[in-house]
Amino acid sequence: MINGDILSIQPTELKFPFELKKQSSCSLQLINKTEQYVAFKVKTTNPKKYSVRPNTGIVLPGSACNVTVTMQAQKEAPLDFQCKDKFLLQSVVANHSTTTKDITPDMFSKEDGKVVEEVKLRVVYIPANPPSPVPEGSEEGNSPRASLLDNGNQNSLFDAVSRSVDESSEKKSEELLRKEISKSHASGFSFVFVVVIGILGILFGFLVKVS
């Protein structure tokens, strides 16, 4: 906001969304800070390019007035989106009951010590269609799709390792089972052999006694 002695003006710049071959508009709000009638007039350095509605008017005491500035459709964009166009808003205290029809160029003349408040406003172009924000995770060439593929590859690798571990465990279990069976067979054979030798010894001793 620009605070003058007579009017407060907002915003401080005329910002136009710029798009080729399309009109663009922005608004100014003029607020009368006094208890008197205030007449205003809007000028521009490029009147063929802009239209101002209203370009002159009266702001009643303690009230506000909205001014719409329209930029005509442009066939080409300015270099680096820089604009040298300027606007000048002049305001002066007027007599009570003054209407817009009563405003004349002489009212804004600084002759005879008349106080004329002047505020300069510059023009700023802003892109009509700003670029979309970059999705998270897409920096350094990593897109969400690539992340999903990476996760899929990691899962496949994990499954392959798990299968390998399971197969290795099964093989070890089979080997241990074979060893236990072999031990059992060996133990059984030794026990039978001892029993047979014992029986033969008893029979041999009995035959010796009989003879």
pLDDT tens per residue across span 34-45: 999 999 999 999
Interacting residues of 127 by C-beta distance below 8 A, sequence separation 6+:
17, 18, 81
pLDDT at 78: 86
For residues 85 and 164, the model is more confident at 85
pLDDT of 186 higher than 70: no
- Entry pTM: 0.61
pLDDT tens per residue across span 124-154: 999 887 666 665 554 544 555 544 444 555 5
pLDDT of 114 higher than 70: yes
pLDDT at 133: 62
pLDDT at 165: 47
pLDDT at 77: 87
pLDDT tens per residue across span 3-44: 889 999 999 999 999 999 999 999 999 999 999 999 999 999
